[in-house]
C-alpha cells in the first residue's frame, strides 16, 4: 500500500454549522476509498474536496443520526451514476436492521448490491494490504472505534551488497525482495535475508469515533502513526462530557500520550468551539507533546511510509 490519504469531510458534533459539516472521514488506502461515518451532507463535501465517489466500503462508528444519515442520499447518487459494483457497509449492531431500513427508504430500488456486516470488538476486515479492526469504545450506545493497520512491509534491499555478491540486476532482485531464495548462474544459492533488511512495520491509523477515554482505545492506538480522537468539549465542560459519554480535548491528549501515538488530530467539536478551537488545542498540548492539530473540513493528511 503506497497511498494512505485522509480527507476530513465533517468535523462538527451533533449539528452542522456554517463552517463544519457532520461527521465523515474519507480514507484513500492505495486503490481503495473508504468512508468512516457518513453524516448528512457528506456527499456534497466529497464533491467539494475532490475525494471521488468510488467508495468500496463504509465503516460506521455508531448510529446516532449525525454519523449515518448521509448514507441514504449518497447511495442514491451512486445509483444515478450507474454503479453496479457492491458497496460494503459495516457497523456495530444493530447495523443490519438499521442500515437496511435506511438504505431502502423510499420507493426507488438501488441498481447495485449493498451488503451489510455487523462488527464487534476485535473483529477484523481483511483488505488488500491492510486490515480494519473494530474496537469497542465507551459511548451512550453500542459504538466502535477503528484501527486501519497496514501489513508489514519487506525490509530495504541492500543494492550495494547485492552487487558486491555478484547478483546480476533484473528478476533475481525482485525475487529476493519478495522473500524468495535465488540460485545464481554460478550455482550459488542466496537467501533473502542476506541482502534484505528486517521487515518494516506498516502504518497504523486509529479513529476513536464518539467515546469517553477508554483503555481499549489506548491499547488500539499503541504507537499509532496517527490517532484521530473526538474532542467535543473543553475542561470547563467536563461534567457535560461525562454525561454525554464524550471526551474533552485534554482527555483525548491523555489517550494519545498513554498510547505513545506519534500524532494526534482532534475532531468532532461542539458548536461552542466552531470557529475558535484554540482553547481545545492549548489544553491538549498540556498533556501530549507530539504533533497536535484541530481538524477542519477539507483538511487532507498523507501518512508517510515508515522507515
CA distance 191 to 250: 50
Residue 303 has, within 13 A of its CA and on its CB side, a CA count of 28
* Nearest Cα residue to 111 out of 89, 88, 81: 81
How many CB atoms neighbour CB 66 within 10 A?
Answer: 21
CA distance 13 to 249: 13
CA distance 245 to 137: 10
* Nearest Cα residue to 42 out of 67, 79, 5: 67
CA distance 64 to 210: 10
Q: What are phi and psi of 294, to 5 degrees?
A: -100, 125
* Nearest Cα residue to 147 out of 214, 88, 61: 61
Q: Which of 37, 66, 210, 225 is catalytic?
A: 66
297 flagged as catalytic = no
* Nearest Cα residue to 89 out of 80, 98, 76: 98
The residues annotated as belonging to the active site are 66
Amino acid at each position: 500500500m503506497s497511498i494512505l490519504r485522509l480527507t476530513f469531510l465533517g468535523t462538527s458534533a451533533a449539528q452542522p454549522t456554517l463552517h463544519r459539516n457532520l461527521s465523515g472521514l474519507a480514507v484513500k488506502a492505495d486503490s481503495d476509498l473508504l468512508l468512516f461515518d457518513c453524516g448528512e451532507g457528506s456527499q456534497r463535501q466529497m464533491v467539494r474536496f475532490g475525494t471521488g465517489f468510488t467508495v468500496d466500503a463504509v465503516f460506521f462508528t455508531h448510529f446516532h443520526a449525525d454519523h449515518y444519515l448521509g448514507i441514504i442520499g449518497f447511495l442514491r447518487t451512486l445509483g444515478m451514476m450507474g454503479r453496479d459494483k457492491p458497496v460494503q457497509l459495516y457497523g456495530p449492531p444493530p447495523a443490519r436492521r438499521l442500515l437496511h431500513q435506511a438504505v431502502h427508504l423510499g420507493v426507488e430500488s438501488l441498481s447495485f448490491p449493498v451488503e451489510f456486516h455487523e462488527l464487534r470488538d476485535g473483529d477484523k476486515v481483511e483488505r488488500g494490504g491492510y486490515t480494519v479492526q473494530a474496537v469497542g469504545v465507551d459511548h451512550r450506545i453500542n459504538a466502535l472505534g477503528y484501527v486501519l493497520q497496514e501489513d508489514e512491509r519487506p525490509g530495504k534491499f541492500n543494492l550495494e551488497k547485492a552487487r558486491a555478491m555478484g547478483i546480476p540486476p533484473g528478476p533475481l532482485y525482485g525475487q529476493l525482495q519478495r522473500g524468495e531464495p535465488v540460485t545464481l548462474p554460478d550455482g550459488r544459492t542466496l537467501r533473502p535475508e542476506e541482502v534484505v533488511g528486517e521487515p518494516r512495520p506498516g502504518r497504523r491509523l486509529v479513529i476513536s469515533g464518539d467515546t469517553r477515554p477508554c483503555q481499549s482505545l489506548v491499547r488500539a492506538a499503541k504507537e499509532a502513526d496517527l490517532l484521530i480522537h473526538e474532542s467535543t468539549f473543553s475542561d470547563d465542560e467536563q461534567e457535560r462530557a461525562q454525561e454525554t459519554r464524550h471526551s474533552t480535548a485534554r482527555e483525548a491528549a491523555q489517550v494519545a500520550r498513554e498510547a505513545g501515538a506519534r500524532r494526534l488530530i482532534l475532531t468532532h467539536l461542539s458548536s461552542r468551539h466552531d470557529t475558535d478551537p484554540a482553547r481545545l488545542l492549548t489544553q491538549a498540548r498540556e498533556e501530549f507533546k507530539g504533533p497536535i492539530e484541530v481538524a477542519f473540513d477539507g483538511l487532507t493528511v498523507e501518512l508517510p511510509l515508515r522507515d
